[in-house]
Amino acid sequence: MELIVTSNSSKSVLMSPFPPPPPPPPPPPPPPPPSSIKFSTVVYEGLQSLMAASEEKTAHNLLERKRTSDVLSSETINVDFASLMLSDPVQKGLTSAGFEKPSPIQLKAIPLGRCGLDLIVQAKSGTGKTCVFGVIALESVIATSNSLQILILAPTREIAVQIQAVIQAIGGAIEGLKCHTFIGGTIFGQDRQNLKKCHIAVGTPGRIKQLIEYDVMKTDSVRLFILDEADKLLDERFQASVNWIYHHLPENKQMLALSATYPETLAQQLTNYMRDPTFVRLNPKDLVLQGIKQFYKIVPGHHLPHKSFQIKADHLVDLLSQIAFNQCLIFSNLQSRAQNLCDLLLERGWPVTYISGNQEQVDRMKAMAELKTYKCRILISTDLTARGIDAENVNLIINLDVPTDFKTYLHRTAAGKIWHHGAAITLASEGSEVGLLKTVQKRSGSDIKVLPEKQNSQLSDKLGVNAYPGVVQNGKIKISSKVTRIIQGIIYLVSYPNMLCKMNKLLHKCKDS
């Protein structure tokens, strides 16, 4: 059975460009596990901080800013989740988590998944696929049972943590629901504790396989098996583990596979796992988010790698100084460059951090939490965060190196879930990188233009990138005289002399427009 769903609408809704008020501070994290459990408190606290950051605002309100038809089209603008006939607890959870209107892929795929069909869902990165399988999972779970019923695999630890946050937010009204993350970098004893009465397990293939092998995770009651970022999970690195896990699950189960790209090899692989799968695909030939303007800049090359890096770093700093962005993700093909570039930008006053696969798990979690809570404006990464990361304030992507293949390019340009408008800029060294860029452009079907030679705000306007009011370069805040008077008035009402004195000093230091 094959169902090809297309969506050709190009309409979007223009609403206020201003951000919503900041969410209330997250509740304090729960205490660490009992001392009898051998568990790394540092990693535990890092996991809790990332969970708190992920849960602060699970959904992006589609009406807050101008959105593209990737997530808000004419067929969904007048539809809400209530029309999908969901259970009251799930409906309440969606509302409290901030989900108001379904995106096109959510509208098409959720009803089919609730019918028990095996689904292959292909839609652009950043269009709401996590909500698709999250709702399907929550509608099928029986919270009164103590057995594990749903198993979700993700290719990275960060994606797994984010999936858990979404499911717990949407399932917050389901009494007794337990969903836990099982990933590498944490102590095995805590996994054993978390599996007690766990209904939904989210994890990476290596740790899930290990738990099943050691007979810690019982899978005889699993009724739903989900592959998020299926194309990545079925590549050479993970396929053997995924195949092993699949054959240790009950034969009679539903399976969902979700991916932003859909190579022919993926279809062939999935036929080995699924029974008469239903395909749900939106604009299969249009793989780039409509709100992203794509540019490239050719920079001088050099035969010495460190010289080539320095040239690119100089051009990168110039770009950051000229573009008024909210938050920026910078991708490099090499792990060694991530930390070097981070140190360089820190020296120049930028609020920046980095994340790479060779870091300790607690450091990776801390970096992601800082991005989500706006404690850093720039995150430098390898392709570790190119897939599935949800950071709504990101509106600028910079490729320090040309991605090695077109799938990586597509995931990078959609990193952070740029549902609204933003820009992706690729720096290519003269020589082989220019040829690689042409190949990526052809294979991805992307319209990548030469970066215009404009200065300051003109460049931001040309790229379609603008910071929230108040955000300027180098992380400094520009406050208007009107805003200054409002803040001062609030402080006088509070009537705390010490606070008044300190805040007035701070306001006078700000550059007044």
| pLDDT at residue 131 in the model | 94
pTM above 0.95, yes or no: no
Residues in the chain: 513
Q: Which residue has the higher pLDDT, 149 or 382?
A: 149
Q: Is residue 303 part of a domain?
A: yes
Residue 436 and residue 387: Cα distance in Å, rounded?
21
**Cα atoms in the 13 Å half-sphere on the side-chain side of 141:** 32
pLDDT digits (tens, 9 = 90+) for 171-223: 999 999 999 999 988 888 899 999 999 999 999 999 999 999 999 999 999 99
249 and 322 assigned to the same domain:
no
| Range 238-257 average pLDDT | 96
Whether 8 is covered by a domain: the verdict is: no
**Confidence band of 289 (pLDDT split at 50, 70, 90):** low
Percent of the chain with pLDDT over 70: 69
Q: Are residues 231 and 326 in the same domain?
A: no
Amino acid 409: pLDDT: 87
Say if residue 234's pLDDT is above 80: yes
For 49, residues 6+ apart whose C-beta sits below 8 A from its C-beta are 29, 365, 366, 369
Specify whether 205 is located in the same domain as 251.
yes
pLDDT over 50 (residue 20):
no
The residue segments making up the domain with residue 502 are: 477-512
CATH code for position 162? 3.40.50.300
Quick check: is 17 in a domain? no
**Nearest CA-CA partner of 150 in 227, 241, 214, 239:** 227
What does the pLDDT read at residue 262? 75
Do 470 and 490 fall into the same domain?
no
| Calpha distance 90→262 (Å, rounded) | 30
413 and 506 fall within a common domain = no
Is 46 in the same domain as 135? yes
Residue with more model confidence, 188 or 454: 188
Alpha helical stretches, state H, 195-272: 205-213, 230-233, 239-246, 264-270
Average pLDDT rounded to a whole number, residues 45-53:
53
Q: Which of 221, 255, 281 is the last residue of a domain?
A: 281
Q: Is residue 20 part of a domain?
A: no
Same domain membership, residue 248 and residue 166? yes
Quote the mean pLDDT of the chain. 78
Q: What is the pLDDT of residue 21?
A: 43
**For residue 35, is it within any domain?**
no
Question: Sign of the CA dihedral 216, 220, 224, 227?
Answer: positive
In a domain, 10, yes or no: no
Do 390 and 404 share a domain, yes or no? yes
Residue 389 and residue 493 in one domain: no
Shared domain check, 506 and 424: no
**Residue 500 Cα to chain centre, angstroms:** 39
Question: Can you give the pLDDT at residue 466?
Answer: 64
At residue 467 the predicted structure's pLDDT band, cuts being 50, 70 and 90, is: low
Total domains present in the chain: 3
Q: How confident is the model at residue 498 (pLDDT cuts 50, 70, 90)?
A: low
191 and 248 fall within a common domain? yes
Instruction: Quote the pLDDT of residue 513.
Output: 41
485 and 468 fall within a common domain: no
Query: Poorest-confidence range of 90-99, 120-129, 348-357?
Result: 120-129
Token pair of 409 as six digits:
């390019």
